[in-house]
Amino acid sequence: MDIIAKLRDVSLDELHPNERLKVESHYLYGTLEESLADRATGAVNEADTQLTKFHGFYQQDDRDVRDDRRHRKLEPLYSFMVRLRLPGGRVSPEQWLTLDDNARRYANGTLRITTRQTFQYHGVFKENLRGHLQALDKSMMDTIAACGDVNRNVICTANPHRSAVHRQIYDLAHEISTRLLPSTRAYHEIFLGEERVAGGPQETDDEVEPLYTRHYLPRKFKVALAIPPENDVDVFAHDVGFIADVQAGELKGFNVCIGGGMGMTHGETATFPRLSDIVGYCTPDRAAAVSEAIMLVQRDNGNRYDRKQARLKYTVEALGVEGFRERVEEYLGESLAPPIELPLTHNGDRLGWYQGEDDLWHYGLFVQNGRLADVDGGPQLLSGMREIAKAHDGDIVLTTNQNLIITQVPEARREAIDTLLADYAMTFETTPLRRHAMACVAFPTCGLAMAESERYLPSLIDRLEAIMQDVGLGDDAIVVRMTGCPNGCARPYLAEIGFVGKTLGRYNLYLGGGFAGERLNKLYRENIDEATILEELTPLIQRYAAEREAGEAFGDFVVRAGVIAPTLAGREFHTH
């Protein structure tokens, strides 16, 4: 299809306002230079708040002080959340020191590992944006396309140094990221100071963006690669998923999945989370091309009228799985092979010491909700990791479960790493319940948050741990996830126990997700406070301890016991 001809037949006035904004942005330049130069406000122009996302950062304000500043007749305390494009989540020790320096110099003194295997910073003021991005650039890092209506950070099963196949998957994540990267030079010219080509791109010159065109995508686009039996990336939760077929240590190909996505809107049943469908199989050399073909089908068929229906998952629902696959094969110029059976057993991380194929050691470090900070009287994760980066020769790798891995440690260096971990109180004892818990940022910075998440979940886990201990389940894992709003950044709809914020102190409680990320959960109780959460969960956990079958996960138990109906398809998420 010719998207340009197709969209020129439609008035921009008929489409969502963001579509006009993209087309008229001059390939994402907008008025960003003027916005950055305006020192009368900490904000950027309203239209530019949408364009900054394509460059990797969101405008936010500190909601903890919003009312006080309003009473004092001050504008909100604006700053930016800045997110890196870091396919596969790997950084060198030298890059880590730059990341740490930027956190202390330009942000709020913390680093946060996201559920998309990258870092984001909070509290970056407008006057610090250029310095922040330029420091990253000098260390061969950037934030291009970490947000916006483009392909986002490509994620994969963690640690490329674990085996030859892991390295292949990591390299493929980079290949896909590079292939689907926007071509506009706006980021380089506005933020990095590169000289602008005379005249710049013309509004009708669609060769500037051969993949995206000046229209870009209807909504964000996400790709994940998993290596069975591990599903640490929650491969079914993304627009595109690749499940590796590994035989005798050799990568043979991938099952291809399409149509996953987590976000929805409270009270609007036409919106729902959805798990992707396995539609075929491809060889490793074709995976990047398959990613591109899927993205182009979405580019040309996605809903540009209603952004709540614009994700690829709704395009799959509209075209049908077979219809979407057929269009992919048209763009690809070949058919996908039939998929094969590739079981996935869990979606957690390896923590502690383990060896790779090359006999070097790797240490998986638990980072509660991904926040690297120095806590008074507690863990000194930020400073501890800085000292480890100074002493370490191998890489540091992030996981999609918000943890990190200190990689490539020779036997002779293990004791030195252990000493630093102990000196900075980084190896505090945790339960399987806490290690399988995950939260989004929410308050005070996320403008979409309706309830607390990152700041609240640890204390709720304390209470759930006590219940688990009382019934003899202290050594058992249940996947618990919490978000402050229904957008689903921590993938709560895959959790065995999911919490989604409704308003301050109150959450929707979801039950019945699969332990390996293979089944959605379903609403169990709506708009409840902590006391009610504990009243509801205590007897269920007690029943689970008494009635579960051997090896049965909590999510499977509540479905088998008839506590909650299984969600077999996204469109059934809201049915009872």
Of 214, 446, 502, 522, which one is the catalytic site residue? Answer: 446
Rounded distance between C-alpha atoms, residue 317 and residue 132, angstroms: 41
Of 116, 219, 489, 491, which one is the catalytic site residue? Answer: 489
Rounded distance between C-alpha atoms, residue 310 and residue 271, angstroms: 10
Of 162, 219, 220, 371, which one is the catalytic site residue? Answer: 220
Cα distances (angstroms) measured from residue 19 to each of 206, 288, 359: 15, 27, 52
Would you give the DSSP letter of residue 232? Answer: T
Q: With beta carbons less than 8 A apart as the criterion, state whether 498 and 488 touch.
A: no
Q: With beta carbons less than 8 A apart as the criterion, state whether 172 and 156 touch.
A: yes
Of 327, 440, 481, 491, which one is the catalytic site residue? Answer: 440
Tell me whether residue 156 is annotated as binding. Answer: no
Q: Is 39 a catalytic residue?
A: no
Q: Is 252 a catalytic residue?
A: no
Tell me whether residue 489 is annotated as binding. Answer: yes
Q: Is 257 a catalytic residue?
A: no
Tell me whether residue 446 is annotated as binding. Answer: yes
Q: Is 152 a catalytic residue?
A: yes
If phi > 0 it is left, if psi is from -120 to 50 it is alpha, else beta; for residue 114 that is beta
Q: Is 83 a catalytic residue?
A: yes
Tell me which long-range contacts 168-175 makes (C-beta under 8 A, separation of at least 24).
168/251, 168/284, 169/225, 169/227, 169/244, 169/251, 170/88, 170/90, 172/225, 172/242, 172/284, 172/287, 172/288, 173/87, 173/88, 173/223, 173/225, 174/87, 174/88, 175/288
Of 222, 299, 386, 434, which one is the catalytic site residue? Answer: 222
Rounded distance between C-alpha atoms, residue 403 and residue 172, angstroms: 22
Of 22, 53, 83, 116, which one is the catalytic site residue? Answer: 83
Q: Is 489 a catalytic residue?
A: yes
Q: Is 156 a catalytic residue?
A: no
What SS3 state is found at 121? strand
Of 147, 156, 257, 485, which one is the catalytic site residue? Answer: 485
Q: With beta carbons less than 8 A apart as the criterion, state whether 366 and 385 touch.
A: no
Q: Which residues are part of a known binding site? A: 440, 446, 485, 489
By annotation, the residues acting in catalysis are 83, 152, 220, 222, 440, 446, 485, 489
Q: Which residues are part of a known binding site for [4Fe-4S] cluster? A: 440, 446, 485, 489
Q: Which residues are part of a known binding site for siroheme? A: 489
